[in-house]
Structure 1
Amino acid sequence: MERTSMRVNAIAPLCALLMTTTACQATGPDGANPDLSPRGTALTRVKPTRKDLTTTLSLAGTVTMRPTIGLVAPVAGKVRFVDLPASDTPSTTPVRVATVSADGTAHPVEIPAGTVFAGRLVDDGATVTAGMPIASAEHTGYGIVAGLDAGQAYQVSGATSDVRAQIENGPGPFPCAVLGTIAALPAGTAPESTPEPSGEPASRSAATGLRVVCAAPGDVTLINGASASVELVTGRSANALAVPVEAVAGRRDRGRVDVLLPDGSRRTTDVVLGLTDGQVVEVTSGLTGDEELAVPGPDLPDPAQDGATTPTGQRR
């Protein structure tokens, strides 16, 4: 009994030594157990690369007859509406429906070709801010309408020049021209509206949520109510300095990476971030491109430090 105890006591220090160097039994693919790696050990080394980045946003849409679109004030100022005769015939050219005056200059507000004026969203003579929806129009053909949430709206804002759509089990993909604004529209009333057969005034146009409304080319056959997907290019960056997202802590605007130094130590470096396609993220400032980075990247800082953000860009 005493001899067995001595054998166990002799083996224990040996196993402890082996655990320090080889973890006794290696479980990793290269013979090392990452879970037992000393804190700060770089498991993967990567270098930034140069590539063209394009970011897109995909939305679910529906083919809709005569969708309503919004027109916004181009500048802050006073709005004056043009008196237009009631008409359900779309013009073949843009039509001025209002002007917004600022600093002695009148800036026109026009409905696009293929639409009819639907209503005023503010009073004549009202003071408005730039980008505020002030009037609505009705697209007289089919349109594709895709809803947005608030976060998507900020991604889409200013990025509606390159849009493509695909009808489910139908035509596409094809370019889809965005009509009007993505801003939500309040209820509006068409001026000089004709009474309903019952003698009641024409009903008010309904308020809308945030949405993209686009028109397909004339040779694309659309069916009312058909499902569609809408893809918007939200950003492009040529020859961007890109690093894997796993190397970055924080993925919106600002982040941090661990630069590996010749002696094997790490230097945590602040970087400014640009576009991301979900696999790599653009670094616009903070790196030269010659560095070697550690993957995974640094831990996120304590929330009390520098207004730290989580990988989704939200406050921790």
Structure 2
Amino acid sequence: MSQRRVFRRFVLPIAWLLIGAVIAVSLVSIAFTGSSSANDDQLYPTGEVPAETVTVEKSTVENTLAITGTIKLDDAQTLNAPVDGVVNWAFVKPGDNVSKGDRIFQIRAETQPEATNTTSSADNESDAAEQVQQPAKAVVAYHDVRATATGKVGKFAIELNDEVTKGAALGKVQPQNFKAVGTINPLDRYRLMEGAREAEITIDGGPEPFVCKNLSVADSASESIDQEQGSEAANEETITGLGSEPGQEQPGGASGSEISCVVPEDVVVFDGLSMRMDIDAGSAENVLTVPVTAVRGLVGQGAIWVLNDKGKEIRTEVELGVTDGKVVEVVSGVKSGAEVLRYVPGSNPVPETEPGMEFYP
């Protein structure tokens, strides 16, 4: 019998039989003991998610705010009657340009003093005397209404010789000054606490970017108070006299906050133009920084959570500096390379929905 024939008839069938036996044993083992191993047990889920951390590192913080808005004319200033009386003179006409303090109207007001008592002797009684009340003459006073701002006089709200009451609107003066006006996120106001006083204004398709000065943030409450006080102060000048001629010179008796700055007079702009306001509120180079989400409190003093050698979270007080809304300078309280929690414990990280300072409640 040849070797090939022996291999086919005896060796090959025995080999297949052995392979089948091994497979059968393996299937029985899996069925009754499972396929778990010591390594698999280490991957068993525990329900705990490790806290996300970041490293304190050095970088440059540039605190620059970019705010969109529009170019606006200053608000028109209303001319109010300071007293009850008659509008007997107008020193200008609608459309005239006036300067702040120029006389616009004159109001004639009459006041009636109390009657005086006089004594007269009777013809038939030598010692008797009777009291006679003599009506006093009316006192005429002239009150000037002056321009509260430099600008153009609008259409009069009254006619000459009209009677008016105190506080009545007589007309308006429209200033020819422009402001760049935008809205600042309340949280971003913390970034301006160092006292930025100017901004760079860019108008697409307009003049070269220019510096806009007298940067201010106004709340609605303070705006209304300022306007009311300005109106009262401007119309407080009064003059008193008898028979004064018209025209005779007489001595004078607040979700976001609005941010604005004054456009220079030599820059040509128009009411309603869209603009971008870039505010440089300071910078810090090569300083220790952490994300703002890692800090509780972002002004002056704050706290971060540092991981020690054993992985324990340690609340650490730190002194803070400049922030750009994404990261904040850590002046003192922690060293470079320290590992800190990326989010304040108990906060609820949410995606940022709009530009500005990141905020995690």
TM-score by length of 2: 0.46
Aligned equivalents of 1:158 and 1:298: distance in 2?
Answer: 26
Q: 1:256 to 1:241 in 2, by over 3 A?
A: same
Deviations 1:71-94 (A, max 9, x none): xxxxxxxxxxxxxxx993269xxx
Where in structure 2 are the equivalents of 1:58-207 lying within 5 Å?
A: 58-67=66-75, 88-89=98-99, 116=150, 140-148=176-184, 150-153=186-189, 155-156=191-192, 159-178=195-214, 182-184=218-220, 185-186=223-224, 187-188=227-228, 189=231, 191-192=234-235
SS of residue matched to 2:29: helix
Aligned equivalents of 1:218 and 1:172: distance in 2?
Answer: 14
Deviations 1:190-218 (A, max 9, x none): 62399xxxxxxxxxxxx9x9423322344
For 2:81, the equivalent position in structure 1 comes to none
**Contact 1:250–1:313 (CA under 8 A) maintained in structure 2:** no
For 1:250, the equivalent position in structure 2 comes to 296
For 2:64, the equivalent position in structure 1 comes to 56
Q: 1:283 to 1:63 in 2, by over 3 A?
A: same
SS of residue matched to 1:17: helix
The CA deviation at 1:276 is 2.5
Letter in 2 for 1:88: V
1:292 matched to 2:338? The reply is yes
The CA deviation at 1:55 is 1.6
The CA deviation at 1:176 is 0.9
The CA deviation at 1:64 is 1.4
Deviations 1:131-166 (A, max 9, x none): xxxxxx986322212234544555545633241111
**Contact 2:70–2:275 (CA under 8 A) maintained in structure 1:** yes
The CA deviation at 1:239 is 4.4
The CA deviation at 1:6 is 3.5
Aligned equivalents of 1:232 and 1:244: distance in 2?
Answer: 21
Deviations 1:216-242 (A, max 9, x none): 344533122111121223443454321
1:223 matched to 2:270? The reply is yes
The CA deviation at 1:36 is 7.7
For 1:13, the equivalent position in structure 2 comes to 36
Q: CA RMSD in A?
A: 4.5
Larger radius of gyration: 2
Aligned equivalents of 1:299 and 1:52: distance in 2?
Answer: 26
SS of residue matched to 1:60: strand
SS of residue matched to 1:18: helix
**Contact 1:64–1:142 (CA under 8 A) maintained in structure 2:** yes
Percent of residue pairs bearing the same amino acid type: 19
Gap runs ≥5 in structure 1: 25-34, 70-85, 92-114, 118-136, 195-206, 302-310
Aligned residue pair count:
216
Aligned equivalents of 2:49 and 2:183: distance in 1?
Answer: 46
Greater fraction helix: 2
